[in-house]
């Protein structure tokens, strides 16, 4: 443990009115460990990110050339987003 971390721990335990050991045990007991994201979920997140970029491009195009074509592009992108979100919610 680095010196700065030690003094931070010591200070937090003192402010809580408990020993360092009690403070550490409390932190361990109240912590939540989250698993890593699956490679499939990471791929879906990348797809969502790409679609978000598409939405930004559609908005720029709509401002530049009009809204008819942009609306069609937007609807197609939204369908894709809905599909990916449903797959994520269904667990794959």
Domain locations along the chain = 1-33, 39-89
Residue 4 has a pLDDT of: 92
Residue 92 has a pLDDT of: 61
User: Which residue stretches of the chain are H helix?
Assistant: 3-16, 20-30, 39-65, 67-89
Mean of all residue pLDDT scores within the chain: 87
Predicted TM-score of the model (pTM): 0.45
Instruction: Tell me how far apart the alpha carbons of residues 80 and 48 are, in angstroms, rounded to a whole number.
Output: 9
């Amino acid at each position: 443990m680095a010196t700065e971390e030690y003094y931070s721990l010591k200070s937090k335990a003192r402010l809580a009115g408990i020993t360092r050991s009690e403070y550490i045990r409390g932190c361990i007991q109240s912590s939540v460990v989250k698993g890593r994201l699956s490679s499939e979920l990471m791929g879906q997140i990348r797809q969502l990110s790409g679609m978000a970029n598409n939405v930004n491009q559609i908005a720029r195009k709509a401002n530049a050339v009009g809204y008819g074509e942009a609306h069609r592009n937007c609807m197609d992108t939204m369908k894709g987003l809905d599909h990916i979100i449903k797959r994520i919610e269904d667990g794959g």
